[in-house]
Structure 1
C-alpha cells in the first residue's frame, strides 16, 4: 500500500504542475473584463473621448477609447452617461478578488477567524482540551487487528480425539456431509480428511496432516446466507457430534491467526507445562466472553514403545535403524511404485493387513532379516509395550510450548477479551517456576508485530518530513507550527469511530498516519500564504486574517474531495474503519486548523 500511495502521489504531482495548467489554458478561456462607470452628463467633451476631472487620480486613462451609451440601447439620460472600458487592465480600481471575499459568508468567516485571534489563548486551550479528550477517548474505541472476510464461504474444522484413525474421521465427516446436503443455504462444499484445505485464500491458517482432523470448505450464495447457515450449523455441531471438537468460522483477513484468543506457555518439563496449561485454561474458561477453549496438545494417545536390546541386536547383525525401517514398512507401508491415472500420479504403498499391524502380539512375531541371511523374531531383540504419551510436542524457539486457544462471542474482539483475561493472570505469573513464561499470541501478537514494523521506519519518515518542511518554510517556528497540527485528527477519528461503532484496527492506523500528512499539507498551504502576505508589507494581524480567509476555500475543497472519495470504502469490511477515520479526522482537523493556526501565529 505504501508503494502504491507513493507512486499515485508522484503521478498526481506531475499532473498538477504540468498537465493541468496546459489543459486549463484551453478549457478556461480568459475574456476581457468590462468595467462600468457612471459620470454626470457634460463632463465628457465628445462621445469618443473622456477628460479626467481636475485633480482626479484613480480614473481610467483618457488615452483609451471609450464609447458613451446607455447599456439598454436607449438614448442616454440627459444628466448621466455610462462609460464602458472594454479593455480595462488588471490594475483598474475594480478589484474582483475584493468583491469575491466581501460576501456575507466571508464576512462571517472573517469575524470568526478574528474572534479566534483575539481570544487566542482560549482558542488554544479549547484545542488542547479536545486533543487530550481524543487521546483518552481512543481507549474507548474497539481494538481489532483484522476483521473476518465478507466472502460467501466459510470453514468447518472437526477434531477427533488424539490417535483416532482416518476411518473414524471419515465417518464423522460423512455425517456432516449429509447435514450440509440437506441445508438449502449450502450451495456446495468439499471435505478434506486428514488434512486441511489448500491455501486458496492468502490468510488461511494451513493445518498439518493429522489422522484425527477433517476440514470442510462450505460455499453459500451470499453473505446473508453464510450468516444464516452458520447460525444453524453451530448448534447442530454441538448437539450431533459428541466427542468431536468442532469449529465453524469465516475466513479471516490479514496475517494467519488461528484463534482470536491465544496464550502460550513455554518451559522445559512436559508435565509441569501441562499443569500450567490447565491452570491457564481455567482462566480462559472463566471469562464470560469465551467458548470452545482448549489446549493444542490434546489428549495423550496410546503409543507403541520399542525398547531394543542392543547386545542381542548386534549379536545377530541388526541395528536400531534396520529395526525401525522394518516396523515402518509394516505399520506405515513402503512405496513400491506410482500409478498413472489421467493427469494424476497416485503412489502405490504396500503394508501389512490391519489385523497384523494393530496387534501387539502379531508385531512381536515380525521376522527381521539378519546379516547372515536368516530371520529373527522382533520379540527376541526388542521389548514391545503400549504407553500413553504425547502424540505431538510443539516447540517454539526449540522450547516445548503449549498454546491455549479460545473463540469469542459475536460482537467481541479477541484483543479486548485477552486484555480482560490478562488482568486475572498475575497470580499465575507470580508462581511460574524458573524457566517458564506465558506470552500472548493471536491478534495481540500480530498487531504488536505489525506496529513494530511500522515503528522501525518511523524515524526515517519523521526525518524526511521535517527535512521537506524545513526546505519549504525555512523557519523552525513555522515547521513546529505545522507539526503541532498533525495530531489534531485524533479528535475526529475517535468521534467518527465511536459514532459508527467501527473498530480501530491496522488499516485504521494506516489511515491515521496518512491523515497526519494531509493535515500538515493544509497547514503548509495556510502558513505559506501568511508569510507571503507579511513579506508583501501587510501587518501580521491583517496578513494572518486575510490569508486564512483566502485559503479557506482551497483547503476545504481539497478536504471535501478527500472525504467524498472515502465514501465508497466506508461500507467495506476491511477498509471501512480507515475510511471513517479519515473522514471524521479530516472534518474536525480542517476546522481546528483554520482556527488554531491563526491564533497560534499571532500568539
Structure 2
C-alpha cells in the first residue's frame, strides 16, 4: 500500500493493541478462579493457573514490543506481479505464508452465501455448542483420575482385639500371595503403623503408631501398564485367602484423599447411630463393584462387665469402689518401682500374668480382700464369681464427631478402574427402593468423592461472579459497545458447550480437570472472536454492514484465526498422546473447544454482528456520518475506509 515499513509496523501494532489487551485480560480473568481456589484442591491445581497467567502477560508484552521489532528487522516482502489467480505459489512462503487462490475463492463464496442469510450462519455455528449442552447430562462424573504409577498400596485391618503377632502372621500369608504375580517387584510392609507418605496424598487416619491390628504395604511393580488389572486380581485373591481381615488393595489417586463412597449419619444416640449405619451398610454391600465397607461406629472392643450382687458384696465387706480398685490393680497393674536402662528410667508395673488376664474363667476366680479385717484372724478372701455374674460385652471402639455432633460414617470402597459416580448412583437408587427412613433428630450427609467434587466446584465458582463483571467491563471498555461485548459473551458461553461436546465425542468423563479446562477454554476461545470483531469494527464499510467488505475482513482475519487454532491444538497433542489419565480431559476440552471456536469466530461473530448492527437504521446512519473520505484516486474513484468504489 505504499506505506514505509516502520510506519506500517507501528500502525499494525497500534491497531492490534486494544484487541490483544482485551483478549489477554479476559483470558487472565478466566484463569483467576483456579488460582484463587482454596483448600487442598487449590494447592493441587493452583500453580497451573498461575503459570498460564504469567505466560499470557509475558506473551502480551512480547507481542507488542519484541515481535514487531523482529518482524521489521527480518521480514522482506517480495511481491511478484503477473501471478495467475489459479496457481499455487510457494515462492517466499516463509515471508507471506501459503496462498491457495482457488480455495480462497471458494471460501469467499461460502462466506458471501452465509452472510446473505445471517440467521442460518448463527444456527450452523451453534450446532456443536448446543449439542454439547444437550449431551452434558450423559457424561460420567469424576473428581480426579487415578495416578499412572508403577506402585499401589494395601491396607490390612484385623479385629480390634488382634495382637501384633496375629497381624504379622496374616501379613506373611498376604506377602506370599502378592509375590506370586510376576508383575510385582517387591512389597514393603509396615506393621502397627500407617505407611510413610511415599505419595503426596497418602495420609494417616489417626495416630502414627501403636495399632496392633493394622498393617500397610507399598507394592512396587515392574511396569504401570497392567496395574489396574493386577489390583483387581489381588483384591479377589486376598479376600479369599484372608477372610478374617479387611484388605483394601488401592491404586494411587490424584487430588485430596477420600473414600470413594461415603455417607454420614448424624444424631445424638450412639446405639441408634450404630443400627442405622448397619442398615445402610447392608444395602451398600449389595451394590455392584463394592469390595469392602466400613463404619466408624462398627468396630467394637471386648469389655468385661460385672453384674454385681449388691447385698452379697455388702455382706462380704466390699463396695463398688473397692471392687473396682482391686480389679484394676490385678488386671491393669500398679506401679511398683522403676529400673534404669542406660540413661532411661523405665517404670515397673506389677499385675497378673497374661494367661490369667486373658481368660474369663481365670478372672472369675480372682480373690478379693475386704478392707476391714480383724487383726486376730486370717484375711478372708472372696472370689469374684461369688459377687455377681461376669461376661464380655462389646463396646464402641471410637466415638466419631463432626462439627461437634456425633456421627457414624459409612464408607464403601470400589473396584479399581470403576468410576465412583456410577456406583454412587446405583447405591442411591437402592437406598431409595429400600424405604430407609431416619428417625426424628437424625440426618444424612453425603461425603466421599461426590462431596469433594461438589465442594471444589463450588469454591471454583465462588469468585466467578465478580470476575465475570470485570470481564464484561473489559470488553465494554475495549469495544465501547454493550452489544459487541454481548457477542463475545455468547461466544464464551458457546465455547463451554464446545468443551462438553469434545468430552462427549471422545468419551472422557466430566472430572475436575475437564472443568478446569472448560473454564480456561472460555478465555482462550474468545481471543479469535475478539480479533475478528475488532477487525470488523475497524473497517468503515464492514462496520456499516457491507457484506462484501465483511467478507474481505474475515478472509484477512482467517490466517490469524487458523494460525492460533493450529498452534493451540498442536500444543495439547503431547498431553493427549502421552498424558496418562490426568491430562487428556483438560487437553481435549481446550483443544476441541478452540477448534470449534474457530467456527464461532469466522461464522457466528460476523453473522451476529450483521444481525445486531447491520440492520439498525439508527446505528447505520450514525456510522455513515462517522465515515471519512480519505482521498480520490487517480481514476476519480471514491476511496472510503480503504475500499475503492467507482
Superposed pair shares fold, TM > 0.5: yes
Tell me, what secondary structure is at the counterpart of 1:214?
A: strand
Q: What is residue 261 of structure 1 aligned with on the other side? A: 261
Matching residue of 2:376: none
- Residue 129 of structure 1 deviates from its aligned partner by 4.8
Matched, 1:30 2:76: yes
Q: Is the 8 A contact 1:148 1:253 kept in 2?
A: yes
Compare 212-221 and 506-515 and name the one that shifted more.
Answer: 212-221
Out of 399, 409, 418, the position equivalent to 1:412 is 418
Q: Tell me: CA distance 1:161–1:523, structure 2 relative to 1, closer, same or farther (3 Å).
A: same
**Aligned mates of 1:416, 1:188 — CA distance in 2:** 33
Aligned: 1:573 with 2:546: no
Q: Which residue of 2 aligns with 1:79?
A: none
Instruction: Please tell me whether residue 510 in structure 1 is matched to residue 516 in structure 2.
Output: yes
Aligned residues: 529
Q: 1:156 to 1:532 in 2, by over 3 A?
A: same
Give 1:2's aligned residue: 49
Q: Is the 8 A contact 2:129 2:498 kept in 1?
A: no
Q: Which residue of 1 aligns with 2:462?
A: 456
Question: Residues of 1 paired with 2:271 and 2:515: CA distance?
Answer: 42
Give the match for residue 75 of structure 1: none
Aligned mates of 1:122, 1:237 — CA distance in 2: 62
Aligned partners of 1:101 and 1:107 also within 8 Å: no
Question: What secondary structure does 2:239 align onto?
Answer: helix
> Which residue does the alignment assign to 2:622?
none
Distance 1:425 1:178, change over 3 A: closer
State the alpha-carbon separation in 1 of the partners of residues 408 and 348 from structure 2: 35
Alpha-carbon distance in structure 2 between the residues aligned to 1:335 and 1:13: 74
1:401 to 397, 400, 407: 407
SS in 2 for 1:223: coil
The aligned residue for residue 123 of structure 1 is 121
Residues 185 and 125 (structure 1 numbering): CA distance in 2 closer, same or farther, change over 3 Å?
closer
How far does residue 265 in structure 1 lie from its aligned partner after superposition? 1.6
The residue that corresponds to 1:184 in the other structure is 182
Q: How does 1:94-493 map to 2 (within 5 A)?
A: 103-209=101-207, 210-227=211-228, 229-258=230-259, 260-304=260-304, 330=333, 353-355=353-355, 357-359=357-359, 386-409=392-415, 411-426=417-432, 431-493=437-499
When structure 1 is superposed on structure 2, of 455-464 and 444-453 the one drifting more is 455-464
Q: Deviations over 1:409-431 (max 9, x none)?
A: 45531122212322343466773
1:532 corresponds to: 538
Check conservation: 1:157, 1:246, Cα contact below 8 A: yes
Listed one character per residue, the Cα deviations across residues 371-428 of structure 1 (whole Å, up to 9, x for unaligned) are: xxxxxx9999x99864211112222222222222223345531122212322343466
Q: Distance in 2 between matches of 1:378 and 1:257?
A: 54
Q: For structure 2, list consecutive stretches of 5 or more residues without a partner in the other structure.
A: 1-47, 83-94, 372-380, 612-646
Q: Tell me by how many angstroms 1:533 deviates.
A: 0.3
Q: Which residue does the alignment assign to 2:506?
A: 500
Return the offset for 1:462: 0.8
Give the gaps of 5 or more residues in structure 1. Answer: 38-95, 370-376
1:257/1:534 CA distance change after superposition, 3 Å: same
- The Cα of 1:567 is off from its aligned counterpart by 1.0
Matched residue, 1:594? 602
- Aligned pair 1:555/2:561, yes or no? yes
Q: What SS class does the counterpart of residue 282 from structure 1 fall into?
A: helix
CA distance in 2, matches of 1:4, 1:319: 70
Deviation of the 1:329 alpha carbon: 6.3
Helix, strand or coil for the counterpart of 1:286? coil
SS, match of residue 21 in structure 1: helix
The farther-off stretch of 497-506 and 325-334 is: 325-334
Q: Which residue of 2 aligns with 1:520?
A: 526
From 567, 590, 594, the equivalent of 1:582 is 590
Name the CA distance, whole Å, in 1 between partners of 2:524 and 2:66: 23
What is the match of residue 88 of structure 1? none
The Cα shift of 1:284 comes to 2.0
Q: Distance in 2 between matches of 1:584 and 1:107?
A: 27
Q: Structure 1 residues 526 and 322 mapped into 2: Cα distance closer, same or farther (>3 Å)?
A: farther
Preserved CA contact (<8 Å) 2:142 2:420: yes
Displacement of 1:545? 2.2
Partner of 1:187, secondary structure, is strand
Distance in 1, matches of 2:336 and 2:495, equals 65
Greater relative contact order: 1 or 2 (C-alpha under 8 angstroms, separation 6 or more)? 2
Deviations 1:90-139 (A, max 9, x none): xxxxxx99x99882222222222222211212222344454332112011
